[in-house]
Amino acid sequence: MTDKLYLYPVWIRLWHVFNALLFLSLIITGLSMQYSTPENPLIRFDLAVSVHNASGILLTANYLFFIIGNLVTTNGRYYKTSFRGIFDRLMIQFRYYASGIFKGAKTPFPITKDRKFNPLQLFTYLGVMYILFPLLVITGWALLYPEILFKSLLGMSPLRINDFIHIVAGFSASIFMFIHVYFCTIGSTFVSSFKSMIDGYHETH
């Protein structure tokens, strides 16, 4: 028997779709700027820069929409957690992903109306949405307006340091995105998690 929980209101779904599209644009244009050559550009450099900057600005607005949405709706409660016993909860979930799921074991932390994320998801999403994403946004704006950086920092160029942090954050977020898509395929059915971004309902057995 399949039960449905309405966990993804319209604003979350819209944010999620725009976030995915904008981030894909940033990945493609970022890789083009990083690895293309003048002789063989993936995307013409000036066009890649323009699209990357525009996507970054729109992603910033979309991220602020997410933060405000979590503050003014009940969705923010899903990101609250108790750090007491968190290591044990993370290990239980990790063991489930590492072996239990392949043996048909029941999920140790089933999704409910009051708990949208398992401990490993919650820990990851907190790190991505409240640490990695702000770092990506801040360093991106610093690259857009490099004059706001100090002229020197411990004898090193702040621009190079900022550029390095932005690239590392970008690659880290890209890796997360691909892992996120993979985990979306291990819901109650192969497409159920993707379907939830259309109708807002999470399917459980």
Q: What pLDDT score was predicted for residue 151? A: 59
Token pair of 133, please? Answer: 């994403």
pLDDT in tens, 166-190: 999 999 999 999 999 998 888 778 8
**Look-up: residue for tokens 């503050």?**
71
Could you tell me if 8 and 38 are in contact, meaning their C-beta atoms sit under 8 angstroms apart?
no
* Sequence letter at residue 143: L
Could you tell me if 149 and 162 are in contact, meaning their C-beta atoms sit under 8 angstroms apart?
yes
Q: What pLDDT score was predicted for residue 49? A: 93
Low-confidence stretches of the chain (pLDDT < 70) are 1-2, 148-156, 205
Q: What pLDDT score was predicted for residue 8? A: 94
Instruction: Let me know the angle formed at the C-alpha of 139 by 135 and 142, rounded to the nearest 5 degrees.
Output: 150
Q: What pLDDT score was predicted for residue 109? A: 92
Q: What pLDDT score was predicted for residue 116? A: 93
Instruction: Let me know the angle formed at the C-alpha of 146 by 140 and 176, rounded to the nearest 5 degrees.
Output: 15
What domains can you pick out in the chain, each with its CATH number? 3-204 (1.20.950.20)
Q: What pLDDT score was predicted for residue 64? A: 97
For 32, other C-beta atoms within 10 Å of its C-beta total 19
The string of DSSP codes covering 90-130 is HHHHHHHHHTGGGGTPPPSS---SS--S-HHHHHHHHHIII
Residues whose CB is less than 8 angstroms from the CB of residue 123 and which lie 6 or more positions away in sequence, other chains included:
81, 86, 90
CA distance 112 to 105: 18
pLDDT in tens, 51-63: 999 999 999 999 9
